[in-house]
Amino acid sequence: MAISNILHLGIKELRSLLRDPVLMIFIVYAFSLSIYAVATAMIDSLNNAPIAIVDDDRSPLSMRIVDAFYPPYFLPPVLIEQHEIDARMDMGIDTFALHIPANFQRDLLAGHQPVIQLNIDATRMGQAFTGNNYVQSIVSGEIDAFVQRHRQESVTPVDLVLRAKFNSELNSQWFGAVMEVINNITMLSIILTGAAIIREREHGTLEHLLVMPVTPFEIMASKVWAMALVVITATALSLWLVVQTWLAVPIQGSVWLFLLGTLFHLFATTSLGIFLGTVARSMPQFGLLLVMILLPLQVLSGASTPRESMPDIIQYIMLLAPDTHFVMLAQSILYRGAGFTEVWAQFLVLILLGSVLFGLSLSRFRKTIASMA
Amino acid sequence: MTALALSALDDNRQVAVLKNISLCYGKTQALDDLSLNIPAGIMVGIIGPDGVGKSSLFSLISGAHAIQQGTIEVLGGDMRKTKHRQKVCPRIAYMPQGLGKNLYHTLSVFENVDFFGRLFGLNRFEREQRITDLLEATGLTAFADRPAGKLSGGMKQKLGLCCALIHDPELLILDEPTTGVDPLSRRQFWSLIKRIRSDNPAMSVLVATAYMEEAADFDWLVAMNQGRVLTTGTPQQILEQTGTSSLESAFIALLPEALRNRHQPVVIPQRRESSHDEFAIEADNLTRRFGHFTAVDQVSFRIPRGEIFGFLGSNGCGKTTTMKMLTGLLAASEGHARLFGKTIDPHDLSIRQRVGYMTQSFSLYGELTVKQNLDLHARLFKLPSHSIAARIDEMAKRFELEAVLDSLPDALPLGQRQRLSLAVAMIHGPEMLILDEPTSGVDPIARDVFWQIMVDLARQDGVTIFISTHFMNEAERCDRISLMHAGRVLVTDTPENLKKARNAASLEDAFVDYLQEEVRRQENLQITDESAKNSIKTNNKNDTPSASLTGFSLRRLYSYSRRETLELVRDPIRLTMAMLGTLLLMFVVGYGISLDVEDLKFAVLDADQSATSRDYTLNLSGSRYFIEQPVLYSHAEIEQRMQSGELSLAIEIPYGFGRDLARGRPVEIGAWIDGSMPTRGENIRGYVQGMHSHWLTMKSREILGSSVTAQPATIEARFRYNPDVKSLVAMVPAMIPLLLMLILSMLTALSVVREKELGSIVNLYVTPVSRLEFLLGKQLPYIVLGMLNFVLLVLFAVFIFQVPLTGSFLTLTFAALLYVVCATSLGLLISAFTRSQIAALFGTALLTLIPAVQFSGMIDPVSSMQGLGRWIGEVYPATHFLTISRGVFSKGLSYSDLHSAFIALFIAVPVLMLVGVMLLKKQER
């Protein structure tokens, strides 16, 4: 093994990348505008939810209820007629439709316990759950306040003081920005290394390398370090310039510790990229393999929905993916300000997974080469 | 020269008129104010050193490259005008430089020719007849079913010619058609051209060649240097003009003083024989089989140190395979080989240090400059870093690369690239050089320079040289040569002895004689010249091609569709992944994504330890949402266990909670939620609040009796379309748009850029196919694939996931068709403007995965988004198909309810296609 070979072959990779302006533009876009777009699309988990209200009562109480819905949680409510509910929900205009029946206020004060109907478009799972809680508590809050003015005070004896730690406003922007950085780290590192291997094969340059005093290990290691360098640089710049400065997301823990973790993660993902590059025989095959790997990684790593809610079997399978551990590590460090003592386990697993993937890829790479020429 | 050709010259008709043409690639001036009239109806040869602009000239005349300065008239019209180009390109045939560069390697010989036939609008009958004629004439009939990628170099060139001649052109442009082709095939090639011309005397042929013997047979020559014309005339006129006897020397005499002085005849000193020399290369019954095919059959030879050993043979006879076995790239099936007395071991790096190898096809890094390539290899061969700069200078001087040190190899002509490859092979001063056709495409002067270097290396430094070549004058310079055919070495001897043995005047005659004898012996293969007696019939000019050549043509579109389909079908792995991959993904992701937040871990800091406080805890741990963890003892522990992510919720019950509650004093319970994942945080907040009030109601009833806390009013929540609030019902219909978008755009994204990277894009430039036909043609097979995929996905959703399809399947299918067209168009669009496959891959992943997952309303509706994301979501086709898919699946809707989403898709289709067409260039720029 020669360090200098690994160094110079790696420099060659970097030079190749610089020659492809479209690719460079894509990389810059991925770590800047794309992050910005994802982060700012949803500021809160319930944001601008579209709601329509059918007010058949037209009483002071019903008007109070209508006025209680306002941005940012809800869009200003649209007042509609009852027969419009179905059509509007069918077309996906409203997620919520609240129906206040006629004589609601009168029945309420008379103690008849009238019923308000809340229609929820349950195909929009995200908003349906959270929104239901919000609508219920807003409406009952208004009713309680209204009732209290007409009846004697009834004190709730136990007060629940709820505080959200690490992100007291439950601001989605913070979450989205960093998770998008993570998704792009994985995506870029796998594509760059895998495609680099296939390109060398398609252009016959790999064969050329093999008649020189260069070992497969050196070829592979050079790609790993060069691509990892590109991704980690993009990550660091993106964290500082886009996430911390542009989006003003407060980062709790040490960015350096996170970058160290990213390095271990990249060791695993670049190895995975090379593995895919040896499995696929051509670039089109690689493209499809990529989709089949990237999508589950993105959706099931815990970066978009919480891991706990996934079926057990999926949770276990996803433990084999470096992404899962990287997401845990990133969430701990960046959001919860965890130090090394809290995340050492993830570091260990990433090193382990990385070594296994690197070993696997190396043996496959050797075999591919032997059968190639 | 034929009388006919002379009369054509006298006619003074021109096939092409060039005035003040200049062309630059970046800073490199390829053509410099060049003016030239090319006579029609004859065979015109363009000769000149490498990099003087021959290929550039051809790409301008054929219309492949856009004109930068000056005017060109071809076949009586201005090539600047798109209309004229459209009109004449069916009458021009262009065969670019490089072995089979414009062919499709996965397609068979027949399919390749058939593809071009369709592009030029020939109907089935015309095609079949003409393909039969052409294959017969070129001797390719026996190989009609072989994939083009598996043909030898010479056969590829013949196939290229068939493809060029399929539409019976008036102007045939051949860019170094015989480079890298063995002498026998070369003879066959030219006799074929001769016959074609005698059948169709009006045809003009324009050829660039590096073989001066060939140029001597042409009717009219143009000598070029540095982007300018030196002289024109018949070969006779040029010989007279320069006062020389051969074209080779005439060519040298024509060059400017400075260049000419550099040329010196190659001097080969006698080799000092010394019997005790060890052998540098020993091969013993070396055999290599690929399946049933024996590529190399028991080859043996011994090459002493310092010998120049030539390796000759027809294309595809196993020379390259033998060389690969010698370098350790390929393992021998039988027999063995030794280098410097050591058996070849692919893991022995020290032997590689002593060998320099140059492959037949250019295999250096196109993305690195000439200098960077040299530098990289010098470092890989561990040259001391202080001497690298000097060594690079030395090699650049030797191989005349100084002027192009900072250029990219891809921008260089073939000859200069070959010189670079050689310089790279020699940079570490190896003791042995294994060179696979190193001088193919290199001009005579550079070849002589190169040979002088090799001779010096061999004679002075004792470097052993093992070289394969198709040039007979080079073979004569070797100490010994081997003739190889069909995997076997026919004879090994000195050039002199070989000539004597056959009584031949030249080595070429001797060579052809040996080969023909061998071929006759095998009998199963017949020499084309003799077997193909029938001539190639030309189309009757009145019999116009059945499809119109201008305007939109379904046949050309279909031609590309067919090609794409064949390629797709030939790659079963890709096809399987495209079809079954989506199902697998739907299963994994549909099953895995769950928006019900459950099984949240919580722990309690219970300072009270009363029955009431335990009851409160039980209220939480008893629900399906929460799982209790070991109790907490301090605030510090809350901090630490939440930080590590172990706990999502921590509850603090204060001291005296039970007592105070019983006395009716106000008490507070503290709850900390992990807010790092906001959606989950919101859910937890909702659950805790709900359970808290539920507990309070229960408590109040216990204490105060049942009547007190009845709600003044109830809010009845109806979860519509998905009454059980199952994630699957919400997610599965949303997965269909996502998966179709990802897979289809990925499939099409590589289709155009791949042709760009591998060279066959030139067919778009020089054939009558329009950009729209090209893109639509490529798109069609993927649309079919996408629709099949869609049907599979729906079946899977309904029968495996049991998600009911409540609306109109017809509506969904129609929407899917529009959407599939959008997804494939998006891929093509990305493919049209990227330069490399890597960029296309990353771009596609970036422009489909993120918008489709984040902005198209899969989890949160687009109307709730804002900023850039909202804007992307509004225009992204996945958003609208998602609305339709959910509408039809869960809401029981049909077309009339969904027309706004349909309108969006209707608009997206032509917009995406148009942008794709606009970004694609019909000419190289």
Please state the ipTM of this predicted complex: 0.86
Assess if residue B682 is contained within a domain: yes
What is the per-residue pLDDT across B37-90, written as a single tens digit (0 to 9) for each? 999 889 999 988 777 888 889 999 988 888 888 999 988 888 888 888 888 888
Between CA A319 and CA B560 the distance in angstroms is 45
Mean pLDDT of B344-370: 81
pLDDT computed for residue B885 by the predictor? 93
Kindly state whether residues A194 and A316 are assigned to the same domain. yes
Alpha carbon distance B900, B414 (integer Å): 56
Question: Is residue B857 left, alpha or beta, with left meaning phi > 0 and alpha meaning psi from -120 to 50?
Answer: left
What mean pLDDT is predicted for residues B618-625? 85
pLDDT confidence band for B565 (50 / 70 / 90): very high
The strand pairing partners of B604, in sequence order, are B651
Q: Do A333 and A268 belong together in one domain?
A: yes
B625 lies in the same domain as B758: no
**B3 or B762, higher pLDDT:** B762
pLDDT at B879 over 90: yes
pLDDT at B704: 62
- Same domain for B61 and B13, yes or no, is yes
In a domain, B133, yes or no: no
Q: Are residues B563 and B482 in the same domain?
A: no
Do A280 and A302 fall into the same domain?
yes
Nearest to B507 by CA among B516, B498, B518: B498
* Among the listed residues A344, A348, A34, the one whose alpha carbon sits nearest the alpha carbon of residue A179: A34
Question: Is residue A325 over pLDDT 90?
Answer: yes
Q: Which of B358, B679, B760, B865 to mutate to test the interface with A (most CBs of A within 10 A)?
A: B679
| pTM of the complete model | 0.84
Beta strands in B260-373 (DSSP E): 279-290, 293-304, 308-313, 334-339, 342-343, 355-358
Q: Which of B649, B650, B659, B651 is nearest to B608 (CA)?
A: B659
**What residues contact residue A171 under an 8 Å CB cut-off, 6+ apart?**
A43, A44, B678
Q: How much is the mean pLDDT over chain B?
A: 84
Last residue in a domain, options B522, B545, B573? B522
Strand partners, B21: B34
Number of domains in chain A: 2
B90 vs B170: CA distance, rounded Å: 9
What pLDDT is attached to residue B467?
92
Shared domain check, B565 and B507: no
Contact list, B573 vs chain A (CB under 8 Å): 281, 285
More confident residue, A102 or B139: A102
- Three-state DSSP state, B302: strand
Residue pLDDT, tens place only, B669-724: 889 988 888 878 888 888 888 888 788 877 777 766 554 455 677 778 787 777 66
Residue B175 has pLDDT above 70, yes or no: yes
Using CB atoms within 10 Å of the CB of residue B792, give its burial: 0 to 12 exposed, 13 to 18 middle, 19+ buried.
middle
Confidence check: pLDDT of B598 > 60: yes
Is B677 in Cβ contact with A175 (below 8 Å)? Answer: yes
- Other Cβ atoms within 10 Å of B646 Cβ, number: 15
- pLDDT tens by residue, B302-321: 898 889 999 888 777 888 88
Q: Which residue has the tokens 């709600």?
A: B711
Same domain assignment for residues B819 and B670: no
Phi-psi region of B895 (alpha: psi -120 to 50; beta: other; left: phi over 0): alpha
Residue A152 inside a domain? The answer is no
Q: Are residues B212 and B344 in the same domain?
A: no
pLDDT tens column, A23-48: 999 999 999 999 998 888 876 667 78
What's residue B275's pLDDT? 54
Tell me the pairing of strands B293-304 and A96-100.
Answer: unpaired
> What DSSP assignment string belongs to A208-244?
HHHTSS--HHHHHHHHHHHHHHHHHHHHHHIIIIIII
Cβ-contact B908, B740 below 8 angstroms: no
Determine phi and psi for B668, rounding to 5 degrees. -125, 135
A331 with B845: Cβ contact below 8 A: no
Judged by DSSP in three states, B44 sits in strand
Token pair of B505, please? 């005047």
Residue B401's pLDDT is what? 86
Task: Name every residue whose Cβ is closer than 8 Å to that of residue A3 and which is 6 or more positions away in sequence.
Answer: none
Q: Are residues B224 and B308 in the same domain?
A: no
Measure the CA angle with vertex B830, ends B365 and B94; round to 5°.
Answer: 60
Q: What is the dihedral of CA A23, A26, A27, A32, to 10 degrees?
A: 160
Tell me, yes or no, whether A87 and A207 share the same domain.
no
Q: What is the pLDDT at residue B523?
A: 54
Provide the pLDDT for residue B815: 95
10 Å Cβ neighbour count for B746?
28
Quick check: helix, strand or coil at residue B667?
strand
Largest interatomic CA distance in chain B: 127
Nearest by CB to B589, from A164, A215, A296: name it: A296
H or E segment to which residue B779 belongs: helix B771-795
Residues of A in contact with B890 (CB under 8 A): 123
- Helix, strand, or coil (residue A273): helix
Asked whether residue B914 is domain-assigned, the answer is: yes
Kindly list the residues from chain B whose CB atom is less than 8 angstroms away from the CB atom of residue A40: 866-869
Check whether residue B564 and residue B622 sit in a common domain: no
Residue B693 lies in a domain: yes
Which positions in chain B touch A33 (Cβ < 8 Å)? 868
Does the distance separating the beta carbons of B893 and A373 come in below 8 Å?
Answer: no
Residue B458 lies in a domain: yes
* A64-78, A204-218, A295-309: range with highest mean pLDDT: A64-78
Matching residue, tokens 């046949």: B555
A373 pLDDT higher than 50 = no
**Are A37 and A142 found together in one domain?**
no
Instruction: Give the residue, B261 or A295, on which the prediction is more confident.
Output: A295
The CB-side HSE value for A251 (13 A sphere, CA atoms) comes to 22
* Closest-approach residue (CA) in chain B for A334: B676
- Compute the distance between CA of residue A228 and CA of residue A220 in angstroms, rounded to an integer: 12
Per-residue pLDDT reduced to its tens digit, B101-110: 788 888 999 9
How many Cβ atoms from other residues are within 10 Å of residue B637's Cβ?
16
∠ CA B512-B515-B517, rounded to 5°: 110
A110-123 confidence digits (pLDDT tens): 878 888 999 988 87
Kindly state whether residue A159 falls inside one of the protein's structural domains.
Answer: no
Task: Mark whether A105 and A229 lie in a shared domain.
Answer: no
Q: Does some domain include residue A162?
A: no
Residues in chain A: 373
| Structure confidence at residue B550 as a pLDDT band (50, 70, 90) | low
pLDDT of residue A315: 87
Residues B287 and B176 in one domain: no
Q: Is the pLDDT of residue A154 over 60?
A: no
User: Mean of the pLDDT values across residues B482-498?
Assistant: 88
What is the reported pLDDT for B542?
40
CB–CB contact A133 B690 (8 Å): yes
Which of A162, A201, A242, A366 is most worth mutating to test chain B (most B CB atoms within 10 A of its CB)?
A: A162
Task: Inspect the interface and report whether the beta carbons of B382 and A2 lie closer than 8 Å.
Answer: yes
Q: Which residues of A touch B589 (CB under 8 A)?
A: 295-296, 299-300
Phi first, then psi, for residue A284 (nearest 5°) are -60, -40
- Tokens matching residue B241: 């003009």
The residue segments making up the domain with residue A253 are: 3-42+171-372
Better-scored residue on pLDDT, B724 or B770: B770
Instruction: Establish if A61 belongs to a structural domain.
Output: yes
**B145 found inside a domain:** no
**Residue range B515-547, pLDDT digits in tens:** 888 877 765 544 444 444 445 555 444 444 444
Residues B82 and B212 reside in one and the same domain:
yes
In a domain, residue B164? The reply is no
**Is residue B481 pLDDT above 50, yes or no?**
yes
Q: Hey, are the CB atoms on B597 and A308 less than 8 Å from each other?
A: yes
Q: What is the pLDDT of residues B8-26, one digit of tens each?
A: 555 668 888 999 999 887 7
Distance from CA of B410 to the nearest CA of A (A): 12
* Residue B680 pLDDT: 82
Within a domain: A165 = no
In 3D, which of B212, B176, B222, B219 has the Cα closest to residue B37? B222
**Contact list, B738 vs chain A (CB under 8 Å):** 295
Taking residues B33-40, what's their average pLDDT?
A: 89
Percent of chain B topping pLDDT 70: 93
The pLDDT assigned to A354 comes to: 94
What CATH number is given to the structural domain containing A141? 3.40.1710.10
Judgement on whether residues A88 and A192 belong to the same structural domain of the protein: no
pLDDT at B738: 92
For residue B1, pLDDT beyond 50? no
Q: Do A327 and A245 share a structural domain?
A: yes
Q: What is the pLDDT of residue B595?
A: 67
Assess contact for B738 and B853: CB atoms under 8 A.
yes
Residues A137, B689: C-beta atoms closer than 8 Å: yes
Closest CA–CA distance from residue A286 to any residue of chain B (Å): 9
Distance from CA of A205 to the nearest CA of B (A): 5
- Do B438 and B498 fall within a single domain? yes
> In chain B, whose CA is at the least distance from the CA of A18?
B367
Contact A337 B643 (CB under 8 A): yes
> Do the beta carbons of residue B379 and residue B391 sit within 8 Å?
no
Q: How far is CA B99 from the centre of its chain?
A: 16
Residues A336 and A293 both lie in one domain = yes
Q: Give the number of domains in chain B.
A: 4
Partner-chain residue, chosen from B593, B675, B758, that has the shortest CB–CB distance to A164 = B675
Q: Indicate which CATH number applies to the domain containing B505.
A: 3.40.50.300
Measured between CA atoms, the residue of chain A closest to residue B731 is A123
> CA B690, CA B620: separation in Å to the nearest integer?
10
In single-letter form, the type of residue at position B190 comes to: W
Q: Which of B685, B730, B750 sits opposite A283 (nearest CB)?
A: B750
Selection from A296, A92, A253 nearest residue B738 by Cα: A296
Q: Do B337 and B189 reside in the same domain of the chain?
A: no
Query: Do the chains contact at B380 and A311, CB–CB below 8 Å?
Result: no
Question: What would the DSSP string read from start to end of A91-114?
Answer: TTS-SEEEEEPTTHHHHHHTT---
Whether A91 sits inside 8 A of B897 (CB atoms) is yes
B836 close to A22: Cβ distance less than 8 angstroms: yes
B-chain residues near A48 (CB < 8 A): 863-866
Q: Which residues, at least 6 apart from A195, have a Cβ–Cβ distance to it below 8 Å?
A: A273, A277, A283, A286, B837, B838, B841, B842
Regarding whether A36 and A62 lie in a shared domain, the answer is no
Structural domain including B700 reads: 600-704
A277-308 pLDDT, tens digit each: 999 988 999 999 999 998 888 888 888 778 87
